[in-house]
């Protein structure tokens, strides 16, 4: 069942991507509007979080589990596909670095830097040298894949559509109020999927260089998601200052995107095998 929902949602996302697409989360902001969360104590904040995030997701999960039989089961699949498509979003992220690639084709380093600032949220410290900028962009692409696909896929597989929706609403809740205790929860939510993605990068990329690092992070409870993915990706990209040029920049961008697609296919294959052989 989960494989079917995941496959259909991914295929629909690919076919319906829109440049500049933004999920409509105004409904969630309206739900939060009666609560002055930043003025509350930690216990009250946790109660509000439970009320607006945890309980609705549990109710949704329970309601979907009650839809059995051919007709109700088919309705459940359709609802899950629609919800998971909403969770993944339909932003065509590839268009964000299209102009960046064009700048590298023209050997326009300053233009590439400004494109990276505008579309990929690259910070000032990346401006010092072309290789540093380019590695920062590659890491931004990997993290974008993680935060837009892999983490939601992981929690969907583990907790169903309720788990994926709970993950999304937790991020939205944190963006509204920036609560320190919730940041720790988000770090816990990211811990295992980030390590699994690092392992996937090693398996589908430069295994010899990346695998030892990916395995080291399995027992590392202190490194952030960005550190885990950036370190694994740096070992995998094979770029160095002496050989770096504009042609290699464009090739590395395409290769990074292809690497993430291979990781996504690997996850889908694992889920398919679990479905066939373990009734997942």
Q: What angle do CA 111, 113, 115 make, to 5 degrees?
A: 70
pLDDT value of residue 32: 94
φ, ψ of residue 228 to 5 degrees: the values are -60, -50
Neighbours of 53 (CB within 10 A): 22
Amino acid 194: pLDDT = 95
Q: Which residue has the tokens 């410290």?
A: 125
pLDDT, position 180: 94
pLDDT at 37: 92
Nearest-angstrom CA–CA distance, 186 and 139? 20
pLDDT of residue 24: 81
Which pLDDT score, from 0 to 100, does residue 240 have? 64
Residue 51 is classified by DSSP as I
Kindly report the pTM of this predicted structure: 0.90
What lies within 8 Å, CB to CB, of 215 at 6+ separation is 199
Residue 123, burial from CB neighbour count under 10 angstroms (0-12, 13-18, 19+): exposed
pLDDT at res. 127: 54
The distance of Cα 44 from the centroid of its chain, to the nearest Å, equals 29
E-strand ranges in the chain read none
List, for the chain, all residue ranges whose pLDDT scores fall below the cut of 70: 20, 94, 96, 119-128, 235-249, 280
pLDDT at position 120: 64
What's the confidence (pLDDT) of residue 239?
A: 63
**Residue 242 has what pLDDT?**
62
CB 155, CB 163: distance < 8 Å? yes
pLDDT value at residue 162: 95
Tell me how far apart the alpha carbons of residues 60 and 169 are, in angstroms, rounded to a whole number: 13
List CB contacts of 158: < 8 A, sequence separation 6 or more: none
User: Exposed (0-12), middle (13-18) or buried (19+): which is 252, by Cβ within 10 Å?
Assistant: buried
pLDDT at 124: 53
What pLDDT is attached to residue 280?
67
């Amino acid at each position: 069942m989960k494989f079917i929902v995941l496959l259909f949602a991914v295929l629909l996302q690919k076919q319906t991507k829109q440049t500049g697409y933004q999920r409509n989360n105004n409904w969630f902001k309206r739900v939060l509007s009666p609560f002055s969360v930043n003025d509350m104590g930690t216990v009250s904040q946790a109660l509000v979080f439970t009320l607006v995030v945890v309980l609705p997701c549990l109710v949704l999960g329970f309601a979907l589990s009650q839809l059995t039989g051919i007709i109700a089961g088919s309705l459940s699949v359709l609802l899950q596909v629609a919800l998971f498509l909403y969770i993944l979003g339909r932003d065509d992220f590839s268009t964000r670095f299209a102009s960046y690639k064009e700048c590298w084709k023209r050997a326009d380093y300053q233009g590439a830097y400004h494109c990276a600032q505008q579309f990929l949220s690259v910070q000032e410290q990346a401006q010092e040298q072309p290789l540093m900028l380019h590695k920062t962009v590659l890491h931004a692409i990997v993290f974008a894949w993680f935060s837009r696909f892999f983490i939601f896929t992981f929690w969907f597989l583990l907790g169903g559509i309720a788990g994926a929706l709970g993950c999304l609403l937790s991020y939205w809740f944190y963006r509204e109020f920036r609560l320190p205790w919730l940041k720790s929860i988000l770090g816990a939510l990211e811990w295992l999927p980030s390590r699994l993605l690092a392992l996937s990068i090693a398996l589908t990329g430069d295994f010899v260089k990346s695998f030892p690092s990916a395995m080291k992070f399995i027992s590392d409870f202190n490194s952030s998601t960005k550190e885990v993915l950036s370190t694994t990706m740096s070992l995998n990209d094979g770029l160095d200052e002496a050989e770096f040029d504009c042609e290699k920049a464009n090739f590395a961008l395409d290769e990074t995107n292809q690497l993430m697609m291979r990781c996504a296919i690997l996850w889908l294959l694992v889920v398919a095998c679990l479905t066939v052989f373990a009734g997942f």
